[in-house]
Amino acid sequence: MITPFGTLPHPRQLAWHRMKFYGFVHFTVNSFTQRQWGHGDEPEAIFAPTALDCRQWACVAKSAGMKGLVLTAKHHDGFCLWPSRFTEHSVKNSPWKGGKGDVVREFVEACKEFGIKAGLYLSPWDRNHAEYGREAYVTYYHNQLEELMTQYGPLFEVWFDGAQGGDGYYGGARDKRHVDDPTAYYQFDKIWEIVRKHQPEACMFSDAGPDIRWCGNESGYLPLTCWNAIRSAGFSPGNVTCENGANLLGTGEPDGDVWHPPEVDVSIRPSWFWDPAERPRSLDELKSIYLSSIERGGNLHLNLPPDNRGLIADEDVQRLMELNAFIRECEANDVAATAEIAADSTLSPEYGVANLTDGKEDTVWAAADGATRVALTANFKDGRRIEAVRLEEAIEYGQRITHVRVYFITGWGQWCLHAEANTVGTQRVLRFPPITCWNLRIEIDALAAPVLRRLALHEAK
């Protein structure tokens, strides 16, 4: 029996970890004004997509290897993509479908049709609402959240930020309103309760979880050291008050008291909303983002902004397909099952090294209790040109590994260090120029006896 170690994930977080790659859809009145943050005074009539097709979004995401999409149901401008009964500032007063349309409904139905999961983002800041900054707006916001949580079926993620206000239209007041303490003003404790009540399997994102944390940047990378746990003190939505907080969002902490794994959110274009003057990032940029996020144990949340027709642009689709081809290439040619693998420590026959290459999610290799420095060896009958080593911890037992070193035997019969890394978590891929090897050794240092779900050895083509 494996003894769990440290802070542990909830089952809904384990399901989220398995998503790995999913998309963000930033789409609202900003898609027609080229603003990134709408001021709140945009007329409903400006929302007039000529070819809006949520099925195209879902089809593109599915074809790109994404497991889900998260839609901006309402951004800071306050315009609602569903016919909320609590405001007139929504699609019900736009010319799209004669005011009878519901983007959120079409979105979740499209996701279901294409076999991917749906999530929603509801901005706490609202530059349109006359009562923003006052108690009446908080009631309004909670009512809207209740609508979204109860009318559109199961969600895998609900996305929040802690926007603290600023200048806005605010029902014609046209002034500047600032929220000093977003946690207290928005009553995030009640927000969490609403989501938990109606969407118990959904993970909530913010600077402070309560399920997923921001990684500390929007550039598409995780630090080389990344723990899923973090100390909760000093973090709240919109505020990071602890010392070195921005960096800690990326690295986490091995002795963290909460399991708040990092989400890497970045846009395929320079901006979050579609702008005709911009182009998608180069394939090299997206490759770097993938290698620095998913292969460092994080989940990648890649934004796909529909254009003013309501479609993901052809050039974005093409770039996504190129990225998907690269990802499939990175995950291909695992030859670990052809090697003779051994470990210098094993908890029991039930947790033997054969579990590392059997392709099953529910089997693991575990070192003996108390073994915090162990080694795995892989021996091939014929030389293999290896270019990457992939490790996956069984995080349901806790994140344990602090350092990994990969050695190959040289022509002189000596072990030579070829690659090393720090944390592993859900996965860590160590890449290096291809080397022909017959013998490979992986040394692991850990806080407690390591438990691995998978070892993959990728052969170069």
Residue 332: burial class (beta carbons within 10 Å; 0-12, 13-18, 19+): exposed
State both tokens at 225: 């050291």
Averaged pLDDT of the chain: 96
Question: With bands split at pLDDT 50, 70 and 90, how would you rate the model's confidence at 242?
Answer: confident
Cα–Cα distance for residue pair 71/57, rounded to 1 Å: 10
Q: pLDDT tens-digit profile of 134-153?
A: 999 999 999 999 999 999 99
Q: What residues does CATH 2.60.120.260 cover in the chain?
A: 336-459
Supply the pLDDT for residue 123.
97
Task: pLDDT band for 219, please (50, 70, 90 cuts).
Answer: very high
Using an 8 Å Cβ cutoff, are 147 and 82 in contact? yes
**Does the pLDDT value for residue 4 go beyond 90?**
yes
Q: What is the pLDDT, as a whole number, of residue 95?
A: 98
What per-residue confidence (pLDDT) applies to 30? 97
What is the 8-class DSSP label of residue 290?
A: H
Over residues 295-324, the pLDDT tens digits come to 999 999 999 999 999 999 999 999 999 999
Instruction: Give residue 461's pLDDT band: very low, low, confident or very high (50, 70, 90).
Output: confident
pLDDT of 371 > 90? The answer is yes
The fold for domain 336-459 equals Jelly Rolls (2.60.120)
- Which pTM was predicted? 0.97
227-236 pLDDT, tens digit each: 999 999 988 8
Query: What pLDDT shows up at residue 244?
Result: 81
> Does residue 406 have a pLDDT over 80?
yes
Lowest mean pLDDT among 238-252, 384-398, 421-435: 238-252
> What percent of the chain is modeled with pLDDT above 70?
100
Confidence of residue 361 (pLDDT cuts 50, 70, 90): very high
Q: Which amino acid is at 312?
A: I
C-alpha–C-alpha distance, residues 457 and 391, integer Å: 9
| Residue-level pLDDT at 401 | 98
Q: Distance of alpha carbon 261 from its chain centroid, rounded?
A: 9
Please give the Cα distance from 351 to 371 (Å, whole number): 14
What is the domain class of 11-331 according to CATH?
Answer: alpha beta
Q: What is the pLDDT confidence band of residue 36, given thresholds at 50, 70 and 90?
A: very high
Q: pLDDT tens digits, residue range 87-121?
A: 999 999 999 999 999 999 999 999 999 999 999 99
Say which range, 129-133, 236-240, 348-352, 386-390, has the weakest mean pLDDT: 236-240
Q: Torsion-angle region of residue 140: left (phi > 0), alpha (psi -120 to 50) or beta?
A: alpha
pLDDT at 208: 86
Q: Where in the chain is the domain with CATH 3.20.20.80?
A: 11-331
Q: CB of 375 within 8 A of CB of 443?
A: yes
Confirm if 107 and 118 have CB atoms less than 8 A apart: yes
Identify residue 232 by its one-letter amino acid code.
S
Tokens of 357: 């290459």
What does the pLDDT average to over 238-251?
Answer: 84
pLDDT confidence of 246, banded at 50, 70, 90?
confident
Q: Residue 410 has what pLDDT?
A: 73
Q: Kind and range of the H or E element at 108?
A: helix 103-113
Q: What angle do CA 402, 405, 408 make, to 5 degrees?
A: 165
Task: Tell me the C-alpha distance between 14 and 295, whole Å.
Answer: 17
Structure confidence at residue 121 (pLDDT): 98
∠ CA 337-11-336, rounded to 5°: 10
Query: In the numeric block, which tokens belong to residue 458?
Result: 């990728």
Q: How confident is the model at residue 270 (pLDDT cuts 50, 70, 90)?
A: very high
137 neighbors 126 (Cβ within 8 angstroms): yes
Report the pLDDT averaged over residues 189-212: 97
Q: What percent of the chain has pLDDT over 90?
A: 94
Pairing status of strand 229-230 against strand 212-214: unpaired
